[in-house]
Amino acid sequence: MQKVVGRSDFDELITPVYSPTHLIPVRGQGSYVWDAEGRRYIDLAGGVAVTGLGHAHPELVAALHEQSQAIWHVGNVFTNEPVLKLARKLIDATFAERIFFVNSGAEANEAALKLARRWSSVTAPGSEKTEIVAFDQSFHGRTLFTVSVGGQAKYRDGFGPLPGDITHLPFNDLDAVGEGIDERTCAVIVELVQGESGVRPADTTFVEALRQRCNETGALLIFDEVQTGIGRTGSLFAYMQYGVVPDILTTAKALGNGFPIGAMLTSERVGMQFSAGTHGSTFGGNPLAASVANKVLEIVDRPETMDGVRKRSAVCIEALHRINARHKLFSDIRGRGLLIGAELLGEYAGQSAELVEAVYRAGAFTLMAGPNVLRLAPSLVIHEDVLLEGLRALQAGVEDFVSRFHCLSHPQSDC
Ligand SMILES: *Cc1c(COP(=O)(O)O)cnc(C)c1O
């Protein structure tokens, strides 16, 4: 059969900001995904922690289908019923009193950072309270403001001139908090688990110190829960396990289970500093996206969903330790809930992409988190048998990876 499109078309048609692997997923059901060749995989990645309830979840399909027959778009000169229900749900479930809806994580952070600057200019007019403090290795998105705030130079190099008055401090460093945040600081933004750069959880003492220092200096505390939100870590948001409440929280990835939607959650005091016309988004809070997100929250909120995250997390961690006992390739296995990282030992440094490729060949999707860390972000509701099948594929991929690696580094041996 003649194929209409294939992987090679990517290189001809798409701006080369990604380098997708050879296989093209065409269908998903739960945590199974099939590629264009008809081969089946177990999805332990979920996009990047996006499809928290797996693929084609029947309740989500029904919610989207129903709304698609009612109304798709009304714009922001009207409000719509799904978005109001969603706002009510988020407010009832969290610290928040005001919500602003967007389409992505970067856009949620962009709104949070703009709101912080606006809040400062309204509540401390004429002062120089404009500094944004962020952390080394953090990731907050790809708009010009969010790459500037993010703690990885490679994402902002070559895009200057950049927005100013942004400072980066070392992550999890208590000593840096006291001096690094002062009366000039407008807001501090932090991931509770640094996702993209290696699945590094923030220490509780560190997050507590940030809250205290923000209180002392009158700075806003922003939690970027774009990746950790919507049940991923075993509670609706990770801040609930830290017992520390932010002034602003951003979320996106799993909120629509793959249907694009993000949100910025905040208090009345802060949120009311945006007034009509100061910010906006054509598609933010679109009825289709909001209908899906309503159903996502309803499912994640069921006690069995969060209990299931804890159980499945333990299964994953145990499997990784078992694999490591056999093959000795990880120096650390860490994470929260179903956001799990396994850091490669020094001799395998820089090899996480190779490992992910080997696991594809063995029949599962995993992720890298930087060059040295393998990341798992399976569905929160993955069937236990399917999870075990996926972890067996992971083990087979590790075996293949390790033996290839040793053949390449010892070519004279018996490979
Ligand atoms: C993915 C991610 C973002 C960016 O989200 P987009 O939807 O790609 O714009 C921001 N912050 C964190 C912590 C993320 O993991």
Interval 190-234: pLDDT, tens: 999 999 999 999 999 999 999 999 999 999 999 999 999 999 999
Q: Residues lining ligand 1, judged by CB closer than 6 Å? A: 104-106, 109, 139-141, 191, 195-196, 224, 226-227, 252-253
Interval 355-393: pLDDT, tens: 999 999 999 999 999 999 999 999 999 999 999 999 999
Residue to substitute in 253, 255, 259 for testing ligand 1 pocket (most ligand atoms within 8 angstroms of CB): 253
Q: Considering only CA atoms, which residue is closest to atom 11 of ligand 1?
A: 140
Is residue 398 within 8 Å of residue 354, measured between CB atoms? no
Is residue 109 within 8 Å of residue 149, measured between CB atoms? yes
Is residue 274 within 8 Å of residue 115, measured between CB atoms? yes
Separation in Å, CA 50 to CA 9, 104, 164, 201, 266? 25, 11, 31, 19, 22
Interval 105-164: pLDDT, tens: 999 999 999 999 999 999 999 889 999 999 999 999 999 999 999 999 999 999 999 999
Separation in Å, CA 29 to CA 2, 138, 248? 26, 33, 35
Query: Which residues, in sequence order, are CB contacts of 198 under 8 Å at separation 6+?
Result: 137, 341, 343, 369, 370, 372, 373
CB-CB neighbours of 304 under 10 Å: 9
CB-CB neighbours of 118 under 10 Å: 17
Residue found by looking up tokens 């650390």 in the block: 332
| Helices and strands of the chain, counted as H and E runs | 14, 17
Which whole number is the average pLDDT over 271-279?
95
Residue to substitute in 142, 226, 237 for testing ligand 1 pocket (most ligand atoms within 8 angstroms of CB): 226
Is residue 293 within 8 Å of residue 86, measured between CB atoms? yes
Residue found by looking up tokens 């997708």 in the block: 20
Distance in angstroms (rounded) separating the CA atoms of residues 415 and 396: 17
Prediction pTM value: 0.97
